[in-house]
Amino acid sequence: MDLLSAEAASVGGTHSRLSHSTLHGSRNGSSRIWTTLPIVPLSTAHRESRYPNTPMSLAWYQGDEECAIFVGLLSQPNLLKISPPKHPEPDKGGRFNVLPIDSNRFLLADESSHQIYLVNHWFKTKRHLAGCGKRGMVNGPLDVCQMNCPCSLALDPHTHYIYVADKGNHVIRKIDLLSGLMSTVCGAGYRGNCDSHYSHKQALDSPFEVSFSEPHYLTISCSDNSVRQFNLLTNVLETMLVGS
């Protein structure tokens, strides 16, 4: 007799309870788990009156991609299936991230090719700015430097430096178009959450968005539900907000 038959028999004729146990089953390589759940016993008056839909036993079922609660009832329907709501996974960020400069130009970060471009949609041109197209962590000349999934850009209106959220390397990078060099301004290159004014101690967790705030701050959103602030003058990284 399978568990559903035992459940129906338990509900239909007697008032016995299934003990709190876990049953494991395998079918075609998939794992399934049944767990019986204890419920509050019914009083004698409730059993005698035989109220409809009085729960007699509970069982929790969990398969590969499905979970449900089965409730054994005193009268018809004798078995009820409750499916908890499913929350869809959040959509992943797209491949491109843009930062408008003026009415004709915008900066474009290509997360898949690990490169930064300057696009002029009026003249329909695209100019390569930084990244050699290979994933990595290399500073230096813009044509040979390497990034890992650059996904957000910020522009300092005072210095015209371009700041890049290098998500895969857990750092914030800086593009200097005058010198033609890329450098790391925030983050030690490993995943974590640590505030400091020493660059080798600063830790970011997959920064996916960066923006410039007056007069000299970078606001950084990280994947650990934290918002960080980096002072471009003092090089101090601090946590502004941590989500629950």
Sign of dihedral through CA atoms 59, 61, 67, 70?
negative
Q: Is the pLDDT of residue 78 over 60?
A: yes
d(CA 238, CA 228): 6
The DSSP call for residue 204 is B
Predicted local confidence at residue 51, as pLDDT: 52
List the one residue out of 119, 113, 81 whose CA is nearest residue 95.
113
Q: Which of 21-25, 114-118, 197-201 has the lowest mean pLDDT?
A: 21-25
Q: How many CB atoms lie within 10 A of CB 89?
A: 6
- Which secondary structure element, helix H or strand E, spans residue 7, and what is its range? helix 3-12
Please give the average per-residue pLDDT across 105-128, as a whole number. 95
Instruction: Name the more confident of 224 and 25.
Output: 224
Which sign, positive or negative, has the C-alpha torsion 168, 172, 173, 175? positive
Query: Mean pLDDT over all residues of the chain?
Result: 82
Distance CA 53, CA 40 (A): 15
Which of the four CATH numbers 3.10.580.10, 2.120.10.30, 3.40.50.2300, 3.40.50.12780 does domain 96-242 have? Answer: 2.120.10.30
Element (H, E) at 134: none
- Domain positions in the chain are 3-82, 96-242
Q: Residue 75: pLDDT band by 50, 70, 90 thresholds? A: confident
